[in-house]
Amino acid sequence: MVIRSLVRGETGPTGGPALTDVLGTCESWTDQTVVVARDDGSGERVRIAVADIVSGKPVPPRASVRMRITPRDAQVRAQAMWPGLATRPLGEWLLRAGTADVRRTCSALAMGDPGMPIAEAAAHVVAHAREHDLPALTMVEVGSPVEAELLALGWHADRPGEAEVELRLASVARALRAARRAAAGEGAEVEVLEDDAGATARVTGAGVARAAYADDWVGIRALEVDPWHRRRGLGRALVAALLDWGAEQGATTACTQVRVDNAASTQLFAQLGFTAHHAYRYLAPPVGVTGAGPG
């Protein structure tokens, strides 16, 4: 909400009382005082005397800049964290040729307008996969028109029954504050090792996670905590260490991918302020049409 209130002891430009606006979330309202948490990322809470309030109105929450980019653009930003990935444009689609066992890097990013009928674009995906001896796969936004058209052409879930994946985004600064407010692992000593592809955070014998940086985004992936060491805050400690590393590189946005049926990861990243931007999944061509292998 927006609350306009008097600034006691000050005069406005027209000679009347000075006024100020506070934009944020109303946390409490009594007969004497209103408490508003500012909506500017500062974490500041403002106490306003009810007698000083001139006006107030509710406003819908405004998504952050990072949440206003398209799913296609978010995925392009995220894939930049796989260095050396070969891509070829097909309109707004991207044909990718990477490691065959990493679907993100060997599938076609089928988001946006390919500049041709979907059936023709799908044929290009298959031909590209054959050229590079890779499986023919498309990464699609769940619920999108592209997904609907591919399904109508006989494309299907690459791994039937597999849950969709959410791309989640967060402010690095906010996520770090949330991680530091919570208890880090009990006696956890997190080691961060850098290499050409990014950084690895590990707690010896207990957990590991990977991160990469590109164009002011840090991507966190491959988070694993040994079952015997869970519920001790180790996952949070690993993520916090990689957020710290990303901040040192200049990152302002953090991203990660979480399967919607992974309750533990979903809860962890939600607690750190990661918000679902969109959901995606992988589709394979109709039975009998394959990308891998000769011909």
Q: Which two three-digit tokens encode residue 56?
A: 């107030």
pTM of the predicted model over 0.85: no
Name the residue ranges covered by the structural domains of the chain. 2-57, 72-163, 166-277
- What token pair was written down for 7? 């600034």
The fold of 166-277 is Aminopeptidase (3.40.630)
Give the pLDDT confidence score for residue 137 in this predicted structure.
96
Mean pLDDT to the nearest integer, 16-26: 77
Work out the pLDDT band at 66, boundaries 50, 70, 90. low
Q: Can you read off the two tokens belonging to residue 126?
A: 């298959």
pLDDT at 293 over 50: no
Q: Tokens representing 82? A: 């796989």
Distance between CA atoms of 33 and 235, rounded to whole angstroms? 40
- Closest of 131, 124, 100 to residue 110, by C-alpha: 124
Instruction: Indicate the range of 90-94, 202-206, 279-283 predicted with least confidence.
Output: 202-206
Length, in residues, of the chain: 295
Mean pLDDT (the chain, rounded)? 85
User: Rounded distance, CA 231 to CA 254, Å?
Assistant: 23
Structure tokens at 32: 């004497």
Q: What is the pLDDT of residues 93-126, one digit of tens each?
A: 999 998 767 888 899 999 999 999 999 999 999 9
Cβ neighbours, 10 Å, residue 169 = 25
H or E segment at 102? none
What integer pLDDT is reported at residue 196 of this predicted model? 85
Confidence of residue 185 (pLDDT cuts 50, 70, 90): very low
**Distances from the Cα of 128 to the Cα of 87, 134, 139, 156, 196, angstroms:** 11, 8, 15, 19, 28
At 208-250, the pLDDT tens digits run 999 999 888 999 998 888 877 677 778 888 999 999 999 999 9
Which has more confidence, 130 or 15? 130
* Residue 90 or residue 15, greater confidence: 90
Q: Could you tell me what percent of the chain has a pLDDT over 70?
A: 87
